[in-house]
Amino acid sequence: MSRLKDTFGRTIDDLRISLTDRCNFRCIYCMPAEGLPWLPRREILTYEEILHLARIFIGLGIHTIRLTGGEPLMRQDVEVLIAGLLRLDATLDLSMTTNGFFLVEKVQRLADAGLKRINVSLDSLRPERFERMVRRDGQLVSKILAGIRLAREAGLNPIKLNCVIMRGYNDDEIADFARLGREQDVQVRFIEYMPLDAQGRWTMDTVVPGAEIHARVHAVYPLRSEQGNGSEPATVHHFADGRGSIGIIASVSQPFCESCNRVRITADGHLRTCLFSLTEHDLKGLLRSGASDEDLADFIIATVWKKEAGHKINQPDFVKPDRSMSAIGG
């Protein structure tokens, strides 16, 4: 049972660790075309530091860790980190979110190191559309799909496909993605566009609400009426004919803050208690100043205790965080 609790009675047992703020893609909902000023390398947590902090978090009751970024596979030898994390706790629910670019060459090493499951982001199946949304060569769509097939052959399970739906960009592909999920046995997770893009271009008009996504899938591939949730942010909807399921992450239209069980460490070692936090807590500074494990644990417990009630996207006093998604670690 996790010792990490907050004032709202939530128990925190899920940690997202960002391995880097760098990325080789430029998704329009995340980064500007020219990229962002990257963190200097000395500011990035080393694998030793990540393992040190992970040992303390696991000791406090964290049981799920997701590696993310930026693009986590841009870090060298991620398999070394994966193996190290699983040595800390062989039962750890360890996963990764990736844009899929490096999967073809790296997925076998990830699986050999013990990674069990993976989420791959892909927002369009049409090359010219992919180019518009990701600002990279449209031929990469087939490379990413090949990476997903190799992930399956390497034994990763489940494989989930993250798809940010933006009105006027890819909302006409919702049924295509549902079909792909059914055919390839992957769970497509449709994500509402959140105001975490670096350029601050987000508008409510571009958000396709989860209910509309559900209706569009249901019209083509009927979904059962009941839904599952668990501790995942996605509501899971099974196809009526039993051929798999979709997930819908409706962070904007149906926030799930009340059941949020996660915190994040940025690539430069700051603890964030919410994606939308306006304050960060400098874990790396404490670690590098030689703090004891007990001091670090006390700092983590006290910080998590103050986790905010939730985000305020739908309220007039909403303030966008200074850092955008790739720098926070989505």
Identify the DSSP state of 167. Answer: T
- Residue 212 found at the interface with ligand SAM (CB under 6 A): no
The interface mask with ligand SF4, positions 108-137, x = CB under 6 A, is: -------------x----------------
* Interaction partner, residue 92 (ligand SAM, ligand SF4, none; CB < 5-8 Å by kind): none
Q: Minimal distance in Å, beta carbon 199 to ligand SAM?
A: 10
8 Å CB contact between 278 and 312: no
Q: Kindly give, in sequence order, each residue whose CB lies less than 8 Å from that of residue 236, ignoring residues fewer than 6 positions away.
A: 187, 227, 228, 229, 230, 245, 246, 247
Residue number with CB closer to ligand SF4 (14 or 197): 197
- Residue 68 found at the interface with ligand SAM (CB under 6 A): yes
Tokens of 103: 């999967």
Q: Which of 54, 60, 62, 69 binds ligand SF4 (CB under 6 A)?
A: 69
Q: Which of 68, 117, 110, 61 is nearest to 89 (CA)?
A: 61
Q: Which of 95, 251, 303, 326 binds ligand SF4 (CB under 6 A)?
A: 326
Site for ligand SF4 in 6-45 (CB under 6 A): 23, 25-27, 30-31
- Tell me how crowded residue 196 is: count the other CB atoms within 10 A of its CB: 22
Q: Minimal distance in Å, beta carbon 208 to ligand SF4?
A: 17
* Interaction partner, residue 26 (ligand SAM, ligand SF4, none; CB < 5-8 Å by kind): ligand SF4
- Tell me how crowded residue 15 is: count the other CB atoms within 10 A of its CB: 23
Alpha-carbon distances of 176 from 15, 180, 192, 221, 238, rounded to whole Å: 32, 6, 17, 10, 16
Strands (DSSP E) found in the chain: 14-18, 64-68, 93-98, 117-121, 159-165, 187-192, 223-228, 235-239, 245-249, 262-265, 270-272, 281-282
Q: Which of 17, 45, 70, 311 binds ligand SF4 (CB under 6 A)?
A: 70
Tokens of 301: 């417990």
* Interaction partner, residue 190 (ligand SAM, ligand SF4, none; CB < 5-8 Å by kind): none
Measure the CA–CA gap between 267 and 33, rounded to whole angstroms.
Answer: 21
Site for ligand SAM in 26-65 (CB under 6 A): 29-30
Residue number with CB closer to ligand SF4 (296 or 325): 325
- Residue 210 found at the interface with ligand SF4 (CB under 6 A): no
Residue number with CB closer to ligand SAM (13 or 192): 192
Q: Which of 99, 124, 251, 266 binds ligand SF4 (CB under 6 A)?
A: 99
Q: Minimal distance in Å, beta carbon 101 to ligand SF4?
A: 8
Dihedral Cα 283, 288, 290, 295, nearest 10 deg: 0
- Residue 121 found at the interface with ligand SAM (CB under 6 A): yes
Q: Which of 69, 244, 247, 255 binds ligand SAM (CB under 6 A)?
A: 69
Measure the CA–CA gap between 129 and 141, rounded to whole angstroms.
Answer: 10
Alpha-carbon distances of 260 from 6, 17, 230, 235, 308, rounded to whole Å: 11, 16, 11, 13, 10
Q: Which residues would be at the binding site for ligand SAM (CB under 6 A)?
A: 23, 29-30, 68-69, 71, 97-99, 121, 162, 164, 191, 193-194, 196-197, 325-326, 330
